[in-house]
Structure 1
Amino acid sequence: MHYGGDYNPEQWPEAVWPEDVRRMREAGVTMVSLGIFSWSRIQPEEGLFDFDWLDRVIDLLHEGGIAVDLATATASPPPWMSAKYPEILPQDDNGATYWPGSRQHYAPASPVYRRLARELVTAIAERYASHPAVVLWHVNNEYACHLHADYSDNARDAFREWLERKYGTIEELNSAWGAAFWSQLYGSFDQVFPPRKAPYSHNPTQLLDFRRFTSDSFLELFQMEKQAIRDAGATQPVTTNFMGAFAPLDYWRWAQEVDVVTDDAYPDPNDPESFRAAAFQRDLVRSLKPEVPWLLMEQSTNALNWRPSNAPKAPGQMAALSMQAVGRGADGILFFQWRQSQGGAEKFHSAMLPHAGLDTRTWREVVALGGELAALPQLPGGSGAKVAIVFDWDNWWALRNPDHPVILDYLELVQRWYRALHRRHLSVDVVPPTGDLTGYSLVVAPQLYLLTEEGAANLRGFVDAGGHLLATAFSDVVDEDDRFRPGGYLTQLRELLGIRVEDFGALAFPGQLGQTSAPVDSVVGEFAGELLAEELSVDSAEVLGTFAEGRTAGRPAFTVRQSGAGRAYYLATVPSESGADELIRYLADEAGVEPSLSGLPATVEVTERGDVLVVINHGTMAERIAIAEPVDDLASGEQVKALSLEPFGFAVLRRR
């Protein structure tokens, strides 16, 4: 179990470095991420490298028994680069330049940036490929975190090349984009631009393809750096840190390229329910590469610096959130950063070693957590989940386009269903529409507006094989080009679900004129429907609920149809939070899915990791929990039949 954080020794006099290593050993640190923002220190000018200081730091860490996750330092170009090569700077959709003085001020498709980055990575990798301290390579840092997309001429040229590789001919592009509309027919790829500032709505397929291109463009940078590391003879695993459900990058694709998934997570202590969003992020990250344990690469020990209000974590909360990651498959808990910065934009961001020193709650909790992690045995893999929730970046990007019947926040709607599953204490995996669904009893697929033929066939096969599927309103509407298929809506799942969608029935938002809610009378009782109240016609489905009021009063709202050995459900609206709770209770019962432990309070969560259970109290009140099945407490080695958990307390149990 790795433990540590980002280490930035270049911010401190060299006399401090030995003290850092001593304190790291005291805290139980086993690994640090080194050199993430060190480009200007490593390469003070083009063609000149200074590795002497880095040699001394790495050797010092190695002598102290601390491993190194060595970064390639490409996340923040040095001032000399933009001064000498201003063409590397990115631009927004208005054509305004992003200037140096912050970080991530580079155009990902810039040939000059790519050349200089590769030269840097090659020099670092050749020097440290065989150093015994280096156990992991950390490429760049949080790709696209602050620069979500570049619209410069670098991007223009690369976008045209990307489109030509995808479509082959301009005629194919015109067909896929529906370019006959609004006189957008192109005569060559040289006439195509990124979706820069325009008088009105852009072509939706152009927007979708540009988001795909942007994700691919950043991925090309990662692949380039990884190849440079391999070319230098390095054999250690290579990674870059993800950021959970991050819209600009399709992490399903990225996960295929990293050797181990790492993630940065910063739930808000001001939100008492933020541990559920954190749980979703950690389940997603685990699911990206389920056969390989992942690392929590960044979190905070206490308060942050970049929210409007940066509340500190409550006593014990840092350890509770860390153990949440462990319970969901993490084999490493790291922080940003080791020693709190004296200057710079993140000087108020907490660290493992705070400004206030050793006589602080933060330091005591850091040391205590290091000891608790070190005492853990090697933990098994596997979530034991019988429930999966479908999440797809292409669909997310398409839903973010304008000009839909109603604005849908895809991530929020997915997380609404996840929260309902989490409150039922059910283990959940996150899957793409084309993912392997064998082994699941229940699959929830919210708002799959864009659904490919392969994804639709996968969902049909899951049901026919005996699974229970919930599809929801505004699903199976368009193809991979964001265009309607012939035959109306719900064309690929129509037979499976036994219904037809005639209209989407958009509802008003609260405070607007018009119908804002569509109550549903159903087998789970009455609940409120929001955002959509679709007009359905039933062909071969059984009606489990109808709309009670409004334009669709008396029409089907919740249906089910037997198909093969399974059952396919459809919900023609978006349920309220309490409605999602009741629907998940019903669907879990119908699918025969049970929680890992029964009778848990709402603020207590349980995660499975093979035969190991991690039970965490995220509430502000102490909780006593009865344990019906025989389990051993890994801390004491004794069988326990009940747990007493203080606020933010946790226990690690093993089934007998």
Structure 2
Amino acid sequence: MRHQTPRHSRPMPWQGIGLGCDYNFEQWPESVWHEDMTLMRAAGVDLVAVNIFGWSAIEPQPGRYDFTTLDKIIDLLHANGIRVNLGTGTASPPPWLTHRHPEVLPVTADGTTRYPGGRQAFCPSSPVFREHALTLVEQVARRYGDHPALAMWHVSNELGCHNALCYDDASAQAFRDWLARRYGDLDSLNRAWGTAFWSQRYADWAEIDPPRLTLSTRNPAQLVDFQRFSSDALLECYLAEADILRGHSSAPITTNFMVTAHIRNLDYWKWAPAMDVIANDHYLDHRLADPTAELSFAADLTRGLAAGQPWMLMEQATGAVNWQPYNLPKAPGQMLRNSLTHVARGADALCFFQWRASAQGAEKFHSAMVPHAGTETAGWRQVLELSSALDRLAEVSGSTVEAETAILFDWESWWATDTEARPSQGVRYLDQVHAVHRALRELGVTTDVVAPSADLSRYRAVVVPCLHMVRDADAAALAEHVRAGGHAVVTFYSGIVDEHDRIRLGGYPGAFRDLLGITVEEFVPLPPGGDTVLDSGARATVWTELLHTTSAETIDRYADGPLAGVPAVTRNHHGSGQAWYVATALDPADLRDVLRRAVREAGVSAAGPESDGTVEVVHRRGGEHRYTFVINHGAKDIEHPITGHELLTGEHTGTVLRVPAGTVRVVRQELTR
């Protein structure tokens, strides 16, 4: 099985809903540290991450270690009752390492070297880098493994954010070794990659290189395997550091994932089982049409990685970031609202990058808990407001999110879909995933986001958006789930290839053809700006298919164009359940209509009302209580029917809860047995 239960089974190493931050103390004189301790206590900070980028400070020259400053700050935090999330310091090598060993530098697909001056200037497969990094980790672990301030270990930082794909000679050899372990012999590799095409057959492992840039399109199976290898190479870096830490400490170990719209290179389903705590970094991405909807999706996916258990938000911003084309501040109340959206969807800790806004460096315009203007600011007051809110929500910690619907999500399918040679460059995997999640969110339906190999038995409805690459076992499990009475909705371009990127012959959608009771003989992508109309009046873009039903009934047809009269939406009775197929990219309102009908027929109970996304209602359940989060992103007050005790205001609700514009309310209800 590719998907396993994560390591973490113990409670988070803090009480209540934790509040934390990155503290780059080395950027400030020691006189500021004492002021910061006072402010941290005032803000209720529980957890501080230090030594994330500390390598050059604690090992200024090869083999010469100086822990004087790090000792001081850890002891100071401990004296002030603040626990430490201790970085291993390996996130970026020091200048002396890349100067003495330039062979550790990363190489891009065009064969050019990327140089120091930023961060993550290393090749993950470099044996020289790994040797020096692990020597550093040994020193850090020995010194602080039993320090009373230590709450958890933070391995490296945002592994693979910049250097996930490296094409140098060290990576080439590591890739060959990985392939030999995976396939065993060259005949198996040649079959898996389809090397009979374009005279690519390999006769010696040494002939295989990373998929560097070519004059034509590259072998798609090789590209997917290189993504797998690269994710595994970075996971090896994590595991090697974690093994050293476990030899010196019993504190939980993690690293910060990047479950977000613009990072796709790591298969976190394989990483999650190695984590003691699932942690994610998330920043609103204003390059997206609906950043708030993407925040909710990312939180749901992070919860999926945590197998439904509580997780921590390792980084977010109080306001603007510094790395988008246009870095927008958060409106009044938005930081609290966004933060509590993460809590509603399973987070038991909220941490910020960073504590004090930097005066220098590449991130000097990134917002922080203490802004450049100091504490006589709206930003600081909002930090205090959040801290107060988290204190009132302490009892929510340890509870879990209720969901009757799941979305199947897979990084490998993302890699295979967004490749070079495909029927339409307009089909992008994450767009389709976001579309179904956004539609369910607007229907008031809370959704888990899980791996294709996950246990589906607890879900009434399972939505499968654009799952282009799927394994036989996972397709069979979905079919069995429906046969046993579950309901499924599958969207176009799903089930087309196996794990080797080999087409499933006999008609699309390949792996799901029998489940859906259909066969597709040809894809008919629409050109940019093209659209089509269905009999129901629904509109669609991007994609259509020449589809025939075998056992399915037609729910909607194309009303115009070359496919007029051809089924576009179908439903098939399979065993005791139903399986829907959506063969085109429906406009948002029309996709919402189809999903509304599908989840209702599945018996799914919505947590909240339908909206345009401005209202979110999510339930967390713990012990004998249910905690209902009502989040009003809109500009108008709303009312929600519920009776219970509202935790943020301390008031008892009657039968209707009033939620002012831009605010959040959390209601505790007693569960009857």
TM-score of Structure 1 vs Structure 2, range by shorter chain: over 0.9
CA contact (8 A) 1:268 1:274 kept: yes
CA shift for structure 1 position 600:
5.9
Question: Comparing 335-344 with 446-455, which one deviates more in the overlay?
Answer: 446-455
1:631 pairs, out of 641, 644, 653, with 644
2:124 paired residue number: 108
Q: How many Å separate the matches in 2 of 1:429 and 1:532?
A: 27
Q: Which one-letter code corresponds to 2:628 in the other structure?
A: L
Give the alignment of 1:608-619 within 5 angstroms: 608-610=619-621, 611-619=626-634
Q: Which one-letter code corresponds to 1:22 in the other structure?
A: T
Q: How many Å separate the matches in 1 of 2:431 and 2:637?
A: 29
CA shift for structure 1 position 558:
1.1
Q: Percent identity?
A: 44
Deviation string, structure 1 residues 167-188 (Cα, Å, up to 9, x no partner): 1111111111110111101111
1:576 paired residue number: 587
CA shift for structure 1 position 602:
4.1
Question: Comparing 271-280 with 363-372, which one deviates more in the overlay?
Answer: 271-280
2:178 paired residue number: 162
CA shift for structure 1 position 644:
3.1
CA contact (8 A) 1:390 1:444 kept: yes
1:272–1:183: structure 2 CA closer, same or farther, 3 Å change rule? closer
CA shift for structure 1 position 398:
0.6
Q: Does 1:385 align with 2:399?
A: no
Q: Which one-letter code corresponds to 2:438 in the other structure?
A: R
CA shift for structure 1 position 492:
2.8
1:642 pairs, out of 635, 650, 656, with 656
CA contact (8 A) 2:497 2:510 kept: no
CA contact (8 A) 2:300 2:448 kept: yes
CA shift for structure 1 position 137:
0.4
Q: How many Å separate the matches in 1 of 2:242 and 2:524?
A: 49
| SS state at 1:639 partner | coil
Deviation string, structure 1 residues 304-353 (Cα, Å, up to 9, x no partner): 11111111100010000000011111111110000110100000101001
2:527 paired residue number: 508
Deviation string, structure 1 residues 521-552 (Cα, Å, up to 9, x no partner): 2xxx3211222211111111111111111111
CA contact (8 A) 1:543 1:558 kept: yes
2:356 paired residue number: 339
| SS state at 1:535 partner | strand
Q: How many Å separate the matches in 2 of 1:271 and 1:183?
A: 42
CA shift for structure 1 position 601:
6.7
2:389 paired residue number: 372
2:547 pairs, out of 517, 528, 536, with 536
Unaligned runs of 5+ in 1: 511-515
2:63 paired residue number: 47
| SS state at 2:293 partner | helix
| SS state at 1:533 partner | strand
CA shift for structure 1 position 368:
1.5
Q: Does 1:320 align with 2:337?
A: yes
| SS state at 1:534 partner | strand
1:288 paired residue number: 305
CA shift for structure 1 position 623:
1.2
TM-score, structure 1 length as denominator?
0.96
Q: How many Å separate the matches in 1 of 2:507 and 2:550?
A: 15
2:205 paired residue number: 189
TM-score, structure 2 length as denominator?
0.94
Q: Which one-letter code corresponds to 1:595 in the other structure?
A: A
2:239 paired residue number: 223
CA shift for structure 1 position 243:
1.1
1:451 paired residue number: 470
CA contact (8 A) 1:496 1:561 kept: yes
1:461–1:270: structure 2 CA closer, same or farther, 3 Å change rule? closer
CA shift for structure 1 position 290:
2.5
Q: How many Å separate the matches in 1 of 2:205 and 2:320?
A: 49
Q: How many Å separate the matches in 1 of 2:643 and 2:659?
A: 18
CA shift for structure 1 position 500:
0.9
Q: Does 1:558 align with 2:569?
A: yes
Q: How many Å separate the matches in 2 of 1:318 and 1:401?
A: 36
Q: How many Å separate the matches in 1 of 2:178 and 2:441?
A: 40
Question: Comparing 324-333 with 145-154, which one deviates more in the overlay?
Answer: 145-154
CA contact (8 A) 1:633 1:639 kept: yes
Q: How many Å separate the matches in 2 of 1:626 and 1:114?
A: 55
Q: How many Å separate the matches in 1 of 2:632 and 2:286?
A: 15
Give the alignment of 1:449-528 within 5 angstroms: 449-510=468-529, 516-521=530-535, 525-528=536-539
| SS state at 2:490 partner | strand
CA shift for structure 1 position 271:
6.7
Q: How many Å separate the matches in 2 of 1:261 and 1:82?
A: 31
CA shift for structure 1 position 46:
0.8
1:238 pairs, out of 242, 247, 253, with 253
2:7 paired residue number: none
Q: How many Å separate the matches in 1 of 2:604 and 2:483?
A: 18
2:3 paired residue number: none
CA shift for structure 1 position 589:
1.7
1:513 paired residue number: none
CA contact (8 A) 2:504 2:511 kept: no
Q: Does 1:402 align with 2:417?
A: no
Q: How many Å separate the matches in 1 of 2:657 and 2:40?
A: 32
Q: How many Å separate the matches in 2 of 1:57 and 1:600?
A: 48
| SS state at 2:533 partner | strand
Q: How many Å separate the matches in 2 of 1:486 and 1:557?
A: 21
| SS state at 1:444 partner | strand
Unaligned runs of 5+ in 2: 1-16
1:426 paired residue number: 445
Q: How many Å separate the matches in 1 of 2:126 and 2:169?
A: 9
1:633–1:270: structure 2 CA closer, same or farther, 3 Å change rule? farther
Give the alignment of 1:243-322 within 5 angstroms: 243-245=258-260, 246-268=263-285, 273-322=290-339
Q: How many Å separate the matches in 1 of 2:610 and 2:520?
A: 40
| SS state at 1:494 partner | helix
CA contact (8 A) 1:624 1:642 kept: no
Q: Which one-letter code corresponds to 2:254 in the other structure?
A: T
CA contact (8 A) 2:408 2:463 kept: yes
CA contact (8 A) 2:357 2:368 kept: yes
Q: How many Å separate the matches in 2 of 1:445 and 1:235?
A: 40
CA shift for structure 1 position 286:
0.7
| SS state at 1:256 partner | helix
CA shift for structure 1 position 204:
0.7
Q: Which one-letter code corresponds to 1:350 in the other structure?
A: S
Question: Comparing 101-110 with 488-497, which one deviates more in the overlay?
Answer: 488-497
CA contact (8 A) 1:270 1:311 kept: no
Q: How many Å separate the matches in 2 of 1:534 and 1:655?
A: 48
CA contact (8 A) 1:544 1:559 kept: yes
Deviation string, structure 1 residues 585-633 (Cα, Å, up to 9, x no partner): 11122112222133667411111111111111112x1313131x42221
Q: How many Å separate the matches in 1 of 2:610 and 2:186?
A: 61
CA shift for structure 1 position 640:
3.8
CA contact (8 A) 1:93 1:196 kept: yes
1:549–1:345: structure 2 CA closer, same or farther, 3 Å change rule? same
Q: How many Å separate the matches in 1 of 2:473 and 2:159?
A: 29
Q: Which one-letter code corresponds to 1:199 in the other structure?
A: L
Question: Comparing 370-379 with 563-572, which one deviates more in the overlay?
Answer: 370-379
Q: Which one-letter code corresponds to 1:622 in the other structure?
A: K
CA contact (8 A) 1:633 1:640 kept: no
CA shift for structure 1 position 209:
0.4
1:348 paired residue number: 365
CA shift for structure 1 position 649:
0.7
CA shift for structure 1 position 291:
4.6
Q: How many Å separate the matches in 2 of 1:622 and 1:272?
A: 21
Q: How many Å separate the matches in 2 of 1:218 and 1:626?
A: 46
| SS state at 1:578 partner | helix
CA shift for structure 1 position 489:
2.7
